[in-house]
């Protein structure tokens, strides 16, 4: 288990402001962002149904996370800001030790 | 000024969202959520889905972790509200506690409609609304149990899927002639009926339940045609009733829901309401509707907070809904009308298709099955009021956005 180690991430908000937050055990990335007051709507509650928790991670980080589910990909591909190399739905990213220190950029709001 | 409180009644999706938004907008006074039971702030959708599956955890995810509320200074009070005293601007709890408010936000939600027939309250008859309901139902759904579900709406069908997967002998009794008739069209109904039938669930349409019988606990369900269905467990999935009693008793305008405007304001300018308990009425836009939708509940909550803080009302997102049955996901955007023109996009037999609802040529709503790309793109087109070429749109190989056939009209 990784629960004893602290995981801190750097989050870049839509206005370009950067802030470090702690990613607590048992939370998805979406929950961490939401609970730290970032503008993550997550209307579906984290079930990969709505794409309102879209973020960008570094490509190297995305590569370590394993493949995206077909549902997640379908949702992402319809986003105007979609980037095949760096886009993720944050509700589908679970905490793990290797993610300490990563930068997470909140994707622009879409209709 | 700084001690002025906003009291929020209800700790579901709407109530919590209102508190979160008020915190974001830096309301200078107190923010209090009144919850009926301690720990009411949990996700509702899993109760009829993941929570009923074999091996599901003991609890559902909270809407926010406990520490969140403490960190943000959002107070929580446990108790049921006995009365709203608008002249004194306070809420009185059952234990006599009085909470004074500068503004009040009502988010009491809805309650599941119970079976109003003889025997409707026998032991073994379940409703599904709260986490306690879900726990009780989960305990009852053991392999081999004869489960009769009354009502083939979202909840009834989600329970049917869970029951069948758990090895229950599952029968669904539905008054109308197809499943989900209130929310979708024939092709989608027939598709989901087949999905359930392939997992062994039986359907009886045109079934009007007249009585439940049993010695102490339910043993059989009787329908108007005299048929008898043996049952160990009965689940009523026959809709919800908005919890408007407190509002009505306080003299607020209600009509199958607490009446609110686009800013979520009730007939009292200091009292707002959001979520399943409300009916949104806006004559200018021809809106008069009560929705059972998380996204709508959250949007109403945000608008209540915005209005309190003098911020403009947020744009109303296209209402959307989802259900998952036997792993098959139906997502709907927009509100269909029975008279809309229907365009079938893709072959239901493939398990991946959509139904488009055109009104005067424009996309008014879309149902998607196993096709999230069409859902996202369809939702945008509904919001834009886009006119689609029906022939082109019926071909799933053509991207939905490429079937728009005239300049997109502006809507609010």
Boundaries of every domain in chain B: 5-111+241-308, 114-238, 327-403
B325 strand-pairing partners:
B328
Q: Which of A24, A35, A51 sits opposite B376 (nearest CB)?
A: A51
Residue B411 pLDDT exceeds 70: no
- Calpha distance B155→B238 (Å, rounded): 8
Q: Which CATH number is B327-403 given?
A: 3.30.390.30
Q: Which CATH number fits domain B5-111+241-308: 3.30.360.10, 3.50.50.60, 3.40.50.10320, 3.40.50.2300?
A: 3.50.50.60
**Of A80 and A3, more confident:** A80
Give the CA distances from residue B259 to residues B106, B268, B272, B285, B307, in Å, rounded to whole numbers and listed in that order. 11, 10, 10, 15, 16
- B150 with B238: CB under 8 angstroms? yes
Statement: B114-238 belongs to CATH 3.50.50.60: yes
Quick one: pLDDT at residue A72?
Answer: 94
Range of the domain at A27: 8-106
Predicted pLDDT of residue A2? 46
Please indicate, yes or no, if residue A111 is contained in any of the structural domains. Answer: no
**Best mutation site among B376, B396, B400 for testing chain A: the one with the most A CBs within 10 Å?**
B376
Residue A64 belongs to a domain: yes
Instruction: Quote the radius of gyration of chain A (alpha carbons, Å).
Output: 13
User: Which pair of tokens denotes residue A18?
Assistant: 């950067």
Mean pLDDT in chain B? 95
Q: Which residues of A touch B298 (CB under 8 A)?
A: 41, 43
Q: Is the ipTM of this complex over 0.90?
A: no
Residue B320 contacts A where some CB pair is shorter than 8 Å = yes
pLDDT beyond 60 at B70 = yes
Q: How confident is the model at residue B407 (pLDDT cuts 50, 70, 90)?
A: low
User: Residues of A with CB below 8 A from B317's CB?
Assistant: 43
Give one word for A46, left, alpha or beta, with left for phi > 0 and alpha for psi -120 to 50. left
pLDDT of residue B1: 43
In 3D, which of B269, B317, B341, B278 has the Cα closest to residue B106? B278
* Average pLDDT rounded to a whole number, residues A54-83: 94
- pLDDT per residue over B278-287, tens digit each? 999 999 989 9
User: pLDDT tens, B31-62?
Assistant: 999 999 999 999 999 999 999 998 888 888 89
Burial (CB count within 10 angstroms: exposed 0-12, middle 13-18, buried 19+), residue A70: exposed
The whole-angstrom distance between A78's CA and the closest CA on chain B is 6
Suggest the residue from A43, A76, A89, A95 to mutate for an interface test with chain B (most B CBs closer than 10 A): A43
Res. A111 pLDDT band, cuts 50 70 90: low
pTM: 0.93
Q: Do A49 and B322 touch (CB under 8 A)?
A: yes
- Give B-chain residues touching A71 at CB under 8 angstroms: 329, 372
CATH of the domain at A45: 3.10.20.30
């Amino acid at each position: 288990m990784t629960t004893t180690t602290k995981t801190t991430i750097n989050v870049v908000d839509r206005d370009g402001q950067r802030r470090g937050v702690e990613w607590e055990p048992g939370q998805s990335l979406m929950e961490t962002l939401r609970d730290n007051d970032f503008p993550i709507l997550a209307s579906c509650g984290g079930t990969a149904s709505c794409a309102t928790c879209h973020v960008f991670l570094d490509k190297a980080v995305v590569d370590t996370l394993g493949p995206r589910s077909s549902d997640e990909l379908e949702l992402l591909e319809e986003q105007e800001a979609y980037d095949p190399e760096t886009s993720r739905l944050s509700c589908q990213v679970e905490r793990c030790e290797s993610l300490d220190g990563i930068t997470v950029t909140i994707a622009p709001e879409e209709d | 000024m700084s001690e002025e409180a906003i009291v929020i009644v209800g700790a579901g999706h709407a109530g919590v969202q209102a508190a979160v938004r008020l915190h974001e907008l830096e309301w200078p006074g107190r923010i209090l959520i009144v919850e009926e039971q301690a720990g009411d702030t949990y996700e509702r959708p899993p109760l009829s889905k993941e929570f009923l599956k074999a091996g599901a955890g003991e609890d559902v995810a909270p809407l926010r972790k406990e520490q969140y509320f403490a960190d943000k200074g959002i107070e929580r009070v446990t108790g049921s509200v006995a009365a709203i005293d608008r002249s004194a601007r306070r809420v009185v709890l059952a234990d006599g506690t009085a909470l004074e408010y500068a503004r009040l936000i009502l988010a009491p939600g809805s309650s599941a409609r119970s079976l109003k027939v003889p025997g409707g309250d026998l032991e073994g008859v379940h409703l599904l609304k709260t986490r306690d309901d879900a726990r009780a139902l989960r305990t009852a759904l053991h392999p081999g149990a004869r489960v009769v579900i009354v009502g083939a709406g979202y909840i009834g069908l989600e329970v049917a899927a869970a029951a069948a997967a758990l090895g229950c002998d599952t029968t669904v009794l539905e008054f109308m002639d197809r499943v989900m008739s209130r929310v979708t069209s024939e092709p989608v109904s027939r598709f989901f009926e087949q999905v359930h039938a392939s997992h062994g669930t039986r359907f009886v349409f045109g079934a009007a339940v007249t009585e439940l019988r049993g010695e102490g606990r339910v043993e059989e369900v009787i329908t108007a045609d005299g048929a008898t269905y043996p049952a160990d467990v009965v689940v009523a999935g026959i809709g919800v009733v908005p919890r408007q009693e407190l509002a009505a008793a306080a003299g607020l305008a209600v009509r199958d829901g607490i009446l609110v405007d686009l800013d979520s304001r009730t007939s009292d300018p200091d009292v707002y309401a959001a979520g399943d308990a409300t009916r949104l009425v806006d004559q200018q836009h021809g809106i008069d509707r009560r929705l059972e939708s998380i996204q709508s509940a959250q949007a109403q909550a945000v608008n209540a907070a915005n209005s309190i803080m003098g911020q403009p009302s947020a744009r109303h997102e296209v209402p959307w809904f989802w259900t998952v049955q036997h792993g098959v996901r139906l997502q709907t955007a927009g509100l269909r009308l029975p008279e809309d023109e229907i365009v079938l996009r893709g072959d239901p037999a493939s398990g991946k298709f959509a139904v488009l609802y055109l009104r005067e040529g424009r996309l008014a709503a879309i149902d998607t099955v196993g096709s999230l790309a069409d859902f996202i793109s369809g939702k945008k087109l509904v919001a834009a009021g886009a006119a689609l070429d029906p022939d082109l749109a019926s071909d799933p190989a053509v991207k939905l956005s490429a079937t728009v056939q005239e300049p997109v009209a502006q809507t609010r």
